[in-house]
Amino acid sequence: MLERVVRILEAFTPDTPALQISEVARRARLPVATASRLVAELVEHGLLARDDDRHVRIGTRLWELGLRASPTLSLRETAMPVMEQLLATVGHHAQLGVLDGDEVLFVERLSADHAVINITRIAARLPLHASSSGLVLLAYGSTVLQERILGTPRHRYTPATVCEPGRLRVLLAEVRKQGFALCPGFIHPDATGIAVPIRTADRQVIAAVSVVVPNDERARGHLATLTAAARRIEHRLADAP
């Protein structure tokens, strides 16, 4: 039963936050009658909600419980003032990502009006090999994680996306040596992602802070500002209760 409920909840994504029961059933690989019954119970408990057009979406109760237990809540709250300053300086996108399984999970994204295109959303995920935040987390991740990613097929978003195992190994070594990931056009030809690690007092990488800016000759110029922001987040984490 629990597995079925999880499959129902996983049917909802940032791109499809509202679904009809038939689509929930299809995505959860359940008979429509079973999905309808379970959805009704989840609605009763506030974990799902029905719209006026009978579409179903995640309920506020589930959001409340998830936020209350989130292990990234203190990280996000500590980083937020620095990210707001970073956004004001860069003028496009500032985001915070953490490693979750074999993906980078974005726990915050701040954007300016008329910013360059960016497919990242809060609570959305991207493959580790394709995004600047993901490459930072992968570069400082375990050998087991790296070999698993290198040994599985990787999606190529644009011709610039690094997918070949040999090239990806070289790129990860460069990230560790330089302390940042610069990804011009990796996900969209018009955008460059730049990310640096956020470390604990004992030098463990726990997150990546990044910016997404236009893919032009000025992109690399944001690196110093981004690095300074990461150091301020680290100092705030060290001073936090």
* Domain locations in the chain as residue ranges: 2-67, 70-239
CATH code of domain 70-239: 3.30.450.40
pLDDT for 68 equals: 72
Fold type of domain 2-67: Arc Repressor Mutant, subunit A (1.10.10)
Q: 3-class DSSP state for residue 53?
A: coil
pLDDT for 62 equals: 87
User: In sequence order, which residues have a C-beta less than 8 Å from that of residue 30 and are 6 or more positions away?
Assistant: 4, 7, 8, 24, 38
What burial letters (b/e) apply to 113-123, b meaning 16+ CB within 10 Å?
Answer: eebbebebeee
- Asked whether the CA dihedral 76, 82, 84, 87 is positive or negative, the reply is negative
Enumerate residue ranges in the chain where pLDDT < 50: none
pLDDT for 74 equals: 86
pLDDT for 196 equals: 98
Q: 3-class DSSP state for residue 109?
A: strand
Alpha helix positions (H), the chain: 2-10, 21-28, 32-44, 60-69, 73-90, 132-139, 143-150, 165-178, 223-239
pLDDT for 69 equals: 62
pLDDT for 108 equals: 93
Question: What order of strands is seen across the sheet that includes strand 18-19?
Answer: 18-19, 56-58, 48-50
Distance in angstroms (rounded) separating the CA atoms of residues 53 and 90: 41
What is the value of pTM for the model shown? 0.82
